[in-house]
Amino acid sequence: MIIGGNEDKTGERVILKRVVELTQQSSRTPAIGVVTTASRQGESAYQRYHRIFADLGVDQVLDFTLESRKEAEASAMVERMVGTATLFFSGGDQLRITSVLGGTAFHQALLQEHKRGLNIAGTSAGASMMSDTMIVTGDAEEAPTKNTVHMAPGMGLWVGAVIDQHFSQRGRIGRLLSALAQNPGILGVGLDEDTAIEVRLDQGIVDVWGSRTVTLLDGRQVACTNASESSADRPLAITGVTLHVLPQGYGFDLNTRRPYQRQRED
């Protein structure tokens, strides 16, 4: 579950309830581990989500307040992860996630357990880190240039995608287009606040949850981009981008690259 940030925590809590449902449906131990590495207030972030998930019926909400690479190398943290149904990454700074966890024993175990059925959820920074290349910063108010977006290696859970969050609220389509112009083969994913996608890589499907929309920029049919010739501050050209805007009830087939309607909304 990849969440665009600012998910509803007090009302219907559609997205967080779905995280709990997936946890309870898992064949693994029905526990949620909260990873707060992105936040500089890790303990308070853990306590906040502990209250929410406990209120939604989760008996075990585990603390993964990892703040150093030494802690991420500890066997106890890896052992705590093994068998757990879901890991939930809180918001903050995605570069803290990769710089603290990247390449550690925890990261390697995360990739292995994900292949074995571990659900991984993340909000805001915890969404951006999911891909193999992630957006770190970028100017949302300028026309796309090479300087519009700055990228770095992500955690590698979803290869072939680049994810941006708080998307419509912060006008970030320009920086996602800039990322696409420099990497046309990827799928650009823009997540509005209180909106999430449930990605099932084994089935090749993406389903939308939440109150707003997901913007998908498909670069596979891009005919032209001047990213390699353009100077850093010159406007980028990109043609042939396919754009989809999808609310809850819709999904996207990663194999056919086509959207579908999951169910009818009343």
CB count in 10 Å sphere of residue 16: 25
CB-facing half-sphere around the CA of 261: CA atoms within 13 A: 3
Q: Which of 50, 73, 142, 168 is catalytic?
A: 142
Helices (H) and strands (E) in the chain, counts: 8, 17
Q: Which amino acid makes up residue 190?
A: G
Q: How far apart are CA 124 and CA 90, in angstroms?
A: 7
Q: Which of 124, 128, 131, 178 is catalytic?
A: 124
Q: Which residues contact 233 (CB under 8 A, 6 or more apart)?
A: 145, 146, 147
Give yes or no: 166 in active site. Answer: yes
Give yes or no: 142 in active site. Answer: yes
Q: Confirm if 125 and 98 have CB atoms less than 8 A apart.
A: no
Q: Confirm if 33 and 87 have CB atoms less than 8 A apart.
A: yes
Q: C-alpha angle with apex 172: 242 to 209, nearest 5 degrees? A: 70
CB count in 10 Å sphere of residue 10: 7
CB count in 10 Å sphere of residue 255: 8
Q: Which of 166, 178, 193, 198 is catalytic?
A: 166
Q: Confirm if 155 and 130 have CB atoms less than 8 A apart.
A: yes
Among all residues, which ones are annotated catalytic?
124, 142, 166
